[in-house]
Amino acid sequence: DVKVTQSSRYLVKRTGEKVFLECVQDMDHENMFWYRQDPGLGLRLIYFSYDVKMKEKGDIPEGYSVSREKKERFSLILESASTNQTSMYLCASRPRLARLTNTGELFFGEGSRLTVL
Protein backbone atom coordinates (compact mmCIF):
# COMPACT_ATOMS: atom_id res chain seq x y z
CA ASP A 1 0.00 0.00 0.00
CA VAL A 2 1.09 3.54 -0.72
CA LYS A 3 2.00 5.41 2.38
CA VAL A 4 2.07 9.18 2.57
CA THR A 5 3.19 10.37 5.98
CA GLN A 6 2.85 13.88 7.30
CA SER A 7 5.16 14.59 10.19
CA SER A 8 2.70 16.36 12.49
CA ARG A 9 -1.04 15.83 12.86
CA TYR A 10 -1.52 18.92 15.02
CA LEU A 11 0.63 22.04 15.39
CA VAL A 12 0.15 25.27 17.29
CA LYS A 13 2.41 28.16 16.32
CA ARG A 14 2.62 31.87 17.01
CA THR A 15 2.29 34.65 14.48
CA GLY A 16 5.62 35.34 12.81
CA GLU A 17 7.11 31.92 13.47
CA LYS A 18 8.65 29.89 10.66
CA VAL A 19 6.75 26.65 10.18
CA PHE A 20 7.84 23.48 8.40
CA LEU A 21 5.34 20.83 7.35
CA GLU A 22 7.00 17.64 6.21
CA CYS A 23 5.62 14.98 3.90
CA VAL A 24 7.23 11.67 2.98
CA GLN A 25 5.97 9.03 0.56
CA ASP A 26 7.32 5.52 0.20
CA MET A 27 6.20 4.57 -3.33
CA ASP A 28 8.79 6.35 -5.43
CA HIS A 29 6.19 8.78 -6.78
CA GLU A 30 7.52 11.60 -8.94
CA ASN A 31 4.65 14.02 -8.33
CA MET A 32 3.84 15.54 -4.97
CA PHE A 33 1.31 18.17 -3.93
CA TRP A 34 0.38 20.41 -1.04
CA TYR A 35 -3.26 21.38 -0.59
CA ARG A 36 -4.96 23.53 1.97
CA GLN A 37 -8.47 22.62 3.18
CA ASP A 38 -10.88 25.17 4.62
CA PRO A 39 -14.61 24.83 5.37
CA GLY A 40 -16.75 25.83 2.43
CA LEU A 41 -13.73 26.16 0.15
CA GLY A 42 -12.72 22.53 -0.26
CA LEU A 43 -9.12 21.75 -1.14
CA ARG A 44 -7.01 24.40 -2.81
CA LEU A 45 -3.62 23.70 -4.34
CA ILE A 46 -0.69 25.58 -2.84
CA TYR A 47 2.33 24.10 -4.62
CA PHE A 48 3.24 20.97 -6.50
CA SER A 49 6.40 19.27 -7.69
CA TYR A 50 6.98 16.99 -10.66
CA ASP A 51 10.47 15.95 -9.72
CA VAL A 52 13.33 16.58 -7.36
CA LYS A 53 14.20 20.27 -7.09
CA MET A 54 11.23 21.18 -9.31
CA LYS A 55 8.27 23.16 -8.06
CA GLU A 56 5.25 24.86 -9.54
CA LYS A 57 2.88 27.35 -7.96
CA GLY A 58 -0.67 26.27 -7.45
CA ASP A 59 -3.69 28.48 -6.96
CA ILE A 60 -2.77 30.01 -3.59
CA PRO A 61 1.04 30.12 -3.22
CA GLU A 62 1.26 33.46 -1.43
CA GLY A 63 2.86 33.16 1.98
CA TYR A 64 4.21 29.68 1.29
CA SER A 65 7.31 28.09 -0.18
CA VAL A 66 8.31 24.48 -0.76
CA SER A 67 11.39 22.32 -0.89
CA ARG A 68 11.96 19.04 -2.72
CA GLU A 69 15.56 17.95 -2.19
CA LYS A 70 14.80 14.23 -2.26
CA LYS A 71 12.25 12.36 -4.31
CA GLU A 72 10.38 11.00 -1.31
CA ARG A 73 10.13 14.23 0.67
CA PHE A 74 8.18 17.42 -0.02
CA SER A 75 8.22 20.18 2.56
CA LEU A 76 5.86 23.12 2.91
CA ILE A 77 7.32 26.21 4.55
CA LEU A 78 5.50 29.14 6.07
CA GLU A 79 8.22 31.79 6.32
CA SER A 80 6.27 33.95 8.76
CA ALA A 81 3.06 32.34 9.92
CA SER A 82 -0.07 34.43 10.09
CA THR A 83 -3.46 33.73 11.63
CA ASN A 84 -5.08 33.41 8.21
CA GLN A 85 -2.88 30.39 7.59
CA THR A 86 -4.70 28.47 10.30
CA SER A 87 -5.98 25.50 8.32
CA MET A 88 -5.76 21.81 7.51
CA TYR A 89 -2.84 21.01 5.19
CA LEU A 90 -2.92 17.89 3.06
CA CYS A 91 0.01 16.36 1.21
CA ALA A 92 -0.55 14.03 -1.74
CA SER A 93 1.47 12.10 -4.29
CA ARG A 94 1.07 10.06 -7.46
CA PRO A 95 3.33 8.40 -10.00
CA ARG A 96 4.16 10.32 -13.16
CA LEU A 97 2.83 7.48 -15.25
CA ALA A 98 -0.68 7.73 -13.92
CA ARG A 99 -1.80 4.75 -15.92
CA LEU A 100 0.02 2.61 -13.38
CA THR A 101 -2.97 3.13 -11.11
CA ASN A 102 -5.52 2.87 -13.94
CA THR A 103 -7.28 5.89 -12.55
CA GLY A 104 -4.61 8.48 -11.80
CA GLU A 105 -5.85 9.31 -8.34
CA LEU A 106 -3.81 11.13 -5.75
CA PHE A 107 -2.70 9.38 -2.58
CA PHE A 108 -3.10 11.55 0.50
CA GLY A 109 -1.53 11.79 3.90
CA GLU A 110 -3.66 12.15 7.02
CA GLY A 111 -3.33 15.91 7.13
CA SER A 112 -1.69 18.43 9.43
CA ARG A 113 -3.97 20.75 11.32
CA LEU A 114 -2.13 24.02 11.94
CA THR A 115 -3.33 26.69 14.35
CA VAL A 116 -1.57 30.06 14.29
CA LEU A 117 -2.18 32.20 17.37
Partner 1 sequence: AQKITQTQPGMFVQEKEAVTLDCTYDTSDPSYGLFWYKQPSSGEMIFLIYQGSYDQQNATEGRYSLNFQKARKSANLVISASQLGDSAMYFCAMREAPMDSSYKLIFGSGTRLLVRP
Binding site for partner 1 (CB under 8 A): 9, 31, 33, 35, 40-45, 48, 50, 58, 88, 90, 92, 96-99, 103-111, 113
The rounded Cα 91 to chain-centroid distance in angstroms is 4
Instruction: Let me know: does 90 contact 37? Beta carbons within 8 Å.
Output: yes
Instruction: Say if residue 59 is exposed, middle or buried (CB neighbours under 10 Å; 0-12, 13-18, 19+).
Output: exposed
Nearer to partner 1, 71 or 113 (CB): 113
Nearer to partner 1, 16 or 100 (CB): 100
Nearer to partner 1, 12 or 18 (CB): 12
Q: For residue 112, give Cα distances in angstroms to 20, 33, 88.
A: 11, 14, 6
Query: Min. distance of Cβ 49 from partner 1 in angstroms?
Result: 10
Query: Min. distance of Cβ 110 from partner 1 in angstroms?
Result: 5
